[in-house]
Structure 1
Amino acid sequence: MDIKIKAVELSEIQPMLLENIMGFVSCFDSYLESHIVNAQHYRIMKDTEVIGYFSIFKKGLLTQFYIEEDYRQYGQEVFHKVRRSEEIQHAYIPTSDELFLSHAVDYARKVDIQAYFFKDSKREVSDRKIPNFYCKQATERDIDFIKEKSGDFFDDVERQIEGRELYIGEIEGKAVAFGIIEKSKLYHQVASIGMFTIAERRQQGIGTNMIIALKELCYEEGNTPIAGCWYYNHYSKKTLEKAGLFSQTRLLKIQL
């Protein structure tokens, strides 16, 4: 069988990519999305027909692998060729991506759990709300303060404020937390949310209230909120769960 691989732009494989990820039981968050969107993408061809695609982030990390259903009998042969196409060392795979995961485990040397992906249960959490908690949009005047209090938690404060992604949580006019809403570049009407509580105000339910406020903002704009956190960040996991989210999907890092 003549399998050919060709480097292409995201736009050339995006219809197939969207078809693939829309079949997942859970959406993935902005962290994994950035590793997919900013990867080098490749079209997989059998003779002259396009049968799939894959994506590699910074040469060594495989972030997508997909084959059309009519050609999945060739899956192992194709994955073997993909794996040898560059110096791939690892793969990022959500457990909701059965096709990719099944082919990667054939070669797995080590499997680590990287993160949780969360969705909203939409259960009532009004008993968690702090009565005088208020969430507002961050502005350019807040840049230095956000950087001072949050360190390197946010990737690019200037860009994120310009994009109207950052928020400040206040109690009685005093900042106690920061939040972020990142609209998905792949999913329609989906946004990743996250928060950072100022150090001296932790363990007071403020993070939970920030997540609740961000969820409400998402719904007001017609977006579905999702979230993710590092697998070993137990405090973030508890905060998200208290705010009504739950996880049934994990992000795996598989050494190939």
Structure 2
Amino acid sequence: MSFYFQECKQGDVEKVIQKYVSTLSSPIDSFLEEHILNSTFYTINYNSEVAGYFAVHSNRYLTQFYLGSSYYNESQEIFKNVLRDHSVQSIMVPTCDELFLSLALDDDYKIEKQAYFFQDNKVEIPTEKLYKDGEFKAAVPNDASKITEVCQDFIDKVEQRIENREIFTFIKGNILLGIGIEL
């Protein structure tokens, strides 16, 4: 098969992006979302059809890679060509994207883990077992500096999110053990 890439505007691949989003097992976090929105988008074309798309942030970071399932047999070759042709230095891949994650793991890249994401499975947990040795609560303004120290730039607008009661903390004594974000 003969594929080629073409720079485009994000709006040009909006329908393909919607197909991609429908394949994900969970939402993409806001940290990665900001990088994606500020990326340059490219279509992956086969003959006159758009087979998928990818996005590169700051000419260095691959932030998106999607192919329609009928092109999966060619995905490794296409992925390697994207990395080569666009001098990609780093790949920012969410764990909810099975194809992108699999392709990124195919080669022996250095992996730097940033965060783990999961969705609540809605299983009832007996309340008598919760918070036995700690306190789970909505974050307060005094928590902002500790949250920023731990999370660095991973969570944006910390003060605003605290004000909107979107950040929660789990603290034991004076030690911050966990942070939760309501999306």
State the TM-score, normalizing by the size of structure 2.
0.71
State the match for 2:35 in structure 1. Answer: 35
Task: Answer yes or no: is 1:25 the counterpart of 2:19.
Answer: no
For structure 2, list consecutive stretches of 5 or more residues without a partner in the other structure. 132-136, 149-154
Q: In the alignment, is the contact (CA less than 8 A) between 2:31 and 2:156 conserved in 1?
A: no
Q: Which amino acid aligns with 1:38?
A: N
* CA displacement at 1:26 relative to structure 2: 2.4
Q: Tell me the SS of whatever aligns to 2:43.
A: strand
State the Cα deviation string for residues 27-62 of structure 1 (Å, max 9, x = none). Answer: 232122222222211111112211110111222111
State the match for 2:110 in structure 1. Answer: 110
The aligned length equals: 168
Q: Tell me the SS of whatever aligns to 2:26.
A: coil
Distance in 1, Cα, partners of 2:56 & 2:85: 10
Q: Which amino acid aligns with 2:30?
A: S
State the match for 1:203 in structure 2. Answer: 172
State the match for 2:69 in structure 1. Answer: 69
For structure 1, list consecutive stretches of 5 or more residues without a partner in the other structure. 137-145, 169-177, 181-193, 206-233, 246-256
Q: Which amino acid aligns with 1:67?
A: L
Cα distance, 1:149–1:97 mapped onto 2, change above 3 Å: closer
State the match for 2:134 in structure 1. Answer: none
Distance in 2, Cα, partners of 1:135 & 1:149: 6
Distance in 1, Cα, partners of 2:87 & 2:125: 48
State the match for 2:80 in structure 1. Answer: 80
State the match for 1:155 in structure 2. Answer: 156
Q: In the alignment, is the contact (CA less than 8 A) between 1:150 and 1:196 conserved in 2?
A: no
Distance in 2, Cα, partners of 1:134 & 1:56: 36
State the match for 1:235 in structure 2. Answer: 177
Task: Pick 1 or 2: higher relative contact order, CA cutoff 8 A, min separation 6.
Answer: 1
* CA displacement at 1:109 relative to structure 2: 2.3
Distance in 2, Cα, partners of 1:78 & 1:16: 17
Q: Tell me the SS of whatever aligns to 1:235.
A: strand
Q: Tell me the SS of whatever aligns to 1:87.
A: coil
Distance in 2, Cα, partners of 1:179 & 1:77: 46
State the match for 1:184 in structure 2. Answer: none
Q: Tell me the SS of whatever aligns to 2:113.
A: strand
Distance in 2, Cα, partners of 1:89 & 1:135: 37
* CA displacement at 1:76 relative to structure 2: 1.9
State the match for 1:98 in structure 2. Answer: 98
- Identity across matched positions, percent: 29
State the TM-score, normalizing by the size of structure 1.
0.53
Cα distance, 1:105–1:135 mapped onto 2, change above 3 Å: closer
Cα distance, 1:26–1:125 mapped onto 2, change above 3 Å: farther
Distance in 2, Cα, partners of 1:124 & 1:56: 42
State the match for 1:251 in structure 2. Answer: none
Q: Tell me the SS of whatever aligns to 1:22.
A: helix
Q: In the alignment, is the contact (CA less than 8 A) between 1:179 and 1:196 conserved in 2?
A: no
CA-based RMSD of the aligned residues comes to: 3.6
Distance in 2, Cα, partners of 1:8 & 1:51: 14
